[in-house]
Amino acid sequence: MTRGVAAIVAVVVATAVAMPPALAQPAAAPPPRDAPSLPAPSPDAAAPAPDAAAPPPNDAPSPDDAASAPDDTPDAAGGRDTGFVGKRILTLEIDDCPVPPAVSHDQLIQIAGEHYARAEVLYNERGDYDGAIREFVTSYCLVPIYSVLKDIGQTYERLLEFEHAVAYLERYVLEVPDDVPGAAEKRRSVSARAQVLRGLAARLQVATSPPGATVWLTDALGVRRNAGRSDAGSFEVTAGSYTMTVEMAGYEPLERQIDVAIGKPYSFYFPLAPRHGHLRVTTVPGDARIFVDQKLVGIGRYDDDLPRGDYQLTIEAPGRLPETRSLEIVADREVDLAIKLPPRPASGRTQLLVASGIAGGILGSVAFGGLDQNTTARGGLGFVGGLGVGLVGGYYGIPEDIEVGTSSYIITTGLIGAGEAGLVTSLFFEEGSTNTENTIGPLSVGGLAVGATFGALTASRWRYDAGDAALLNSGALWGTVGGFLFSVVFESKHRVSQALVLGGLNLGVVSGALIGRSAEVSRGHVALIDLAGLAGMGISVSVQAAIDDAINSDSSSERTAHFALAGMTGGLILGAYFTRNMDVPKLGRFAPVIGKPAEGRGMVFGLAGEL
């Protein structure tokens, strides 16, 4: 870039002499014709020196030719379509030259030379390559001399703008006139330089959160290749347009269109979104609040996608025991939960306090000989004293928060223990024995204490609720009654009769315990079934009495026991059948619902149910 204004003036003068008079007038120079891009780049240490000025070609297109030329209007991507997939020609500054000033031809040459001289100073002395490019472009637009194209390309190379450098060097190769000395060598050397620059690879660095994702690149021809893993250093790619796909197990794939320029470094960061699973929760009661990780997400029902991971689900409702569960949401899987919150148990302290007072009174009565007919006064005194001791001990010893189920279980096990001890003891005595009453009473009281102690020790293990304890109590009751009725039916002797009652008691206890572990029933439900059993017995005995009166027959205990046993069985079965849906949750036609809107942020409140 040392020839400057003199070179431009010499070229233009030579051109003016060779031109016809009509073409020698000052006029705006048409922009050079576009040409297909040449292959690919990599800069060398020193930029080649500019060529000697040469006259521009005399075959400039006429206005008619320009009108019929192909449309090279730049597209939205900033380049022109070359007819090749993924290949673009940049829109260069010289393709959009302003209209030159209306001055004489000599003045135009002088102005172009001044701009060229300023470009040389900016390039060589100040290192202002951006300013040099502006001056070179202005000079070329005023007087389009092909050698300036190479100067512009070299300046862009200094700026590491290799795309523009290659475009100007390729334009230079196309604009070198054939009659310039050494034209072939000029084209060859500059084409080689453009090829080296075009071969420069761009460097891509991809980071993801979490790291370790697989990065795929798909070029314009649809060829897909594995570029490597994120956060594992940079990788090289040739210039062009790509579809970058980032994939990682358990996360949503991410796709991005990228345009890679020659020799440029690029950095990308992608936070990966976890893949989603689906959670559906339905609660009883319908106004229960649903929390996911302590955030309110619904009332009565929740149905939404969640990113995969571990969550804590909490359900709360007034008057109900809250429930908390740990959940794992798996990608592309659905978790469907129906959760029923049990009512908060009522306190069983009062009934256990009363029971402890009565048990204390019985123990005191036995201790003072209250069961002996000759010591009734002492027994009464012992009962009163034991009652007081039991109440005071229970008041201070029974916890405030003891549940009804636990207290009922302790009372039931105490009664069962008393029954077991009395029946077992009676097996060892003949009917009417004088020692029976004096022995069975104290042993039954001992069985009561043992049974209650057993219940207190095992209550925390079995966790009986009020319904479970009621089933155990009901089983023991009806088992004992059934055993007794069978002993009457068979007119058994004393010991056989006691054995049948004892067997019925144990069978009832086992049946009640098993049913309580497999079925969810309320205390009221069990009470209704018990009433149905009593009603069945009463109705059957009444029917039997009416039949006996109608036929003037004497009633017998065996006949009455038959009818009572049949009525008890039928009443219990019908009571269980007709109350089978008593504990099924009663949901209203409408329930409040809270959820997320289909679009946007916020929450939606409303009612849901059948119409």
Q: Which amino acid belongs to residue 352? A: L
Averaged over 595-601, what is the pLDDT? Answer: 58
Q: Is the pLDDT of residue 106 over 60?
A: yes
CA 610 to chain centre: 29
Tell me the CB-side half-sphere exposure of residue 5, using CA atoms within 13 A: 13
Query: Rounded to whole angstroms, how far apart are CA atoms 154 and 604?
Result: 63
Is the torsion defined by CA of 59, 63, 67, 68 positive or negative? negative
Q: Is the pLDDT of residue 21 over 70?
A: no
If you average pLDDT over every residue of the chain, what do you get?
79
CATH 2.60.40.1120, the chain: domain bounds: 202-271, 281-340
Helix ranges (DSSP H) in 490-599: 494-518, 523-550, 557-578
CATH 1.25.40.10, the chain: domain bounds: 4-198
4-198 architecture in CATH? Answer: Alpha Horseshoe (1.25)
User: Picking from 24-38, 294-308, 456-470, which range would have the lowest pLDDT averaged per residue?
Assistant: 24-38
Q: What is the CA radius of gyration of the chain?
A: 52
Taking CA atoms, 606 is separated from 283, 285, 297, 591, in Å, by 16, 16, 13, 8
Taking CA atoms, 553 is separated from 438, 510, 543, 545, in Å, by 40, 40, 13, 9
Query: Rounded to whole angstroms, how far apart are CA atoms 112 and 250?
Result: 63
Identify the DSSP state of 122.
I
CB-neighbour burial class of residue 266 (10 A; exposed 0-12, middle 13-18, buried 19+): middle
Q: Which amino acid belongs to residue 587? A: L
Q: Would you place residue 319 in the very low, low, confident or very high pLDDT band (cuts 50, 70, 90)? A: confident
How many Cβ atoms from other residues are within 10 Å of residue 553's Cβ? Answer: 10
- What is the per-residue pLDDT for 432? 62
- What is the per-residue pLDDT for 244? 94
- Which of 227, 431, 251 lies closest to 332 in space, CA to CA? 251
- What is the per-residue pLDDT for 586? 57
Averaged over 162-183, what is the pLDDT? Answer: 93
- What is the per-residue pLDDT for 167? 93
pLDDT digits (tens, 9 = 90+) for 250-260: 888 999 999 99
**Cβ proximity of 451 and 418 under 8 Å:** yes
**Cβ proximity of 96 and 137 under 8 Å:** no
CB contact set of 513 (below 8 Å; sequence gap of 6+)? 471, 472, 475
Q: What is the largest CA-CA distance in the chain?
A: 159
Across the strands, what pairs with 244?
217, 256
Q: Would you place residue 343 in the very low, low, confident or very high pLDDT band (cuts 50, 70, 90)? A: confident
**Cβ proximity of 482 and 536 under 8 Å:** no
- What is the per-residue pLDDT for 266? 92
Query: Rounded to whole angstroms, how far apart are CA atoms 490 and 503?
Result: 15
Across the strands, what pairs with 302?
281
DSSP per-residue letters across 20-88 = -GGGGS--PPPPPPP-PPP------SSPPPPPPP-PPPS-PPPHHHHHHS------TTSEEE-SSTT-E
What are the φ and ψ backbone dihedral angles of 317, each rounded to 5 degrees? -155, 145
Stronger pLDDT, 422 or 56, i.e. the higher one? 422
Q: Which amino acid belongs to residue 109? A: I
Q: Would you place residue 39 in the very low, low, confident or very high pLDDT band (cuts 50, 70, 90)? A: very low
Domain 202-271 is in which class?
mainly beta
pLDDT digits (tens, 9 = 90+) for 201-234: 999 999 999 999 999 999 988 899 888 888 888 8
Across the strands, what pairs with 303?
280
- What is the per-residue pLDDT for 396? 86
- Coil vs helix vs strand at 603: coil
Pairing of strands 265-271, 202-209: parallel
Is the torsion defined by CA of 520, 526, 528, 532 positive or negative? positive
Q: Is 588 left (phi over 0), alpha (psi -120 to 50) or beta?
A: beta
Query: Rounded to whole angstroms, how far apart are CA atoms 309 and 276?
Result: 9
User: Picking from 175-179, 183-187, 495-499, 574-578, which range would have the lowest pLDDT averaged per residue?
Assistant: 495-499
Place of tokens 């761009």: 202
* Cis peptide bond N-terminal to 36, omega within 30: no
When mean pLDDT is compared over 1-15, 28-42, 484-498, 587-601, the highest value belongs to 484-498
DSSP per-residue letters across 535-556 = HHHHHHHHHHHHHHHHTT----
Query: Rounded to whole angstroms, how far apart are CA atoms 108 and 16?
Result: 13
Q: Which amino acid belongs to residue 359? A: A
Size (the chain), residues: 611
Tell me the CB-side half-sphere exposure of residue 406, using CA atoms within 13 A: 21
* Cis peptide bond N-terminal to 210, omega within 30: yes
Identify the DSSP state of 125.
I
CB-neighbour burial class of residue 101 (10 A; exposed 0-12, middle 13-18, buried 19+): exposed
**Cβ proximity of 585 and 603 under 8 Å:** no
Place of tokens 């309320």: 522
**Between helices 404-426 and 436-462, what is the axis angle to 10°?**
150
Taking CA atoms, 251 is separated from 210, 211, 271, in Å, by 10, 12, 10
Tell me the CB-side half-sphere exposure of residue 248, using CA atoms within 13 A: 20
How many Cβ atoms from other residues are within 10 Å of residue 219's Cβ? Answer: 17
Place of tokens 């997939």: 85
CATH number of 281-340: 2.60.40.1120
- What is the per-residue pLDDT for 385? 82
CA 382 to chain centre: 68
Tokens linked to 462: 């079995």
Helix ranges (DSSP H) in 340-403: 349-367, 376-397
What are the φ and ψ backbone dihedral angles of 591, each rounded to 5 degrees? -135, 145
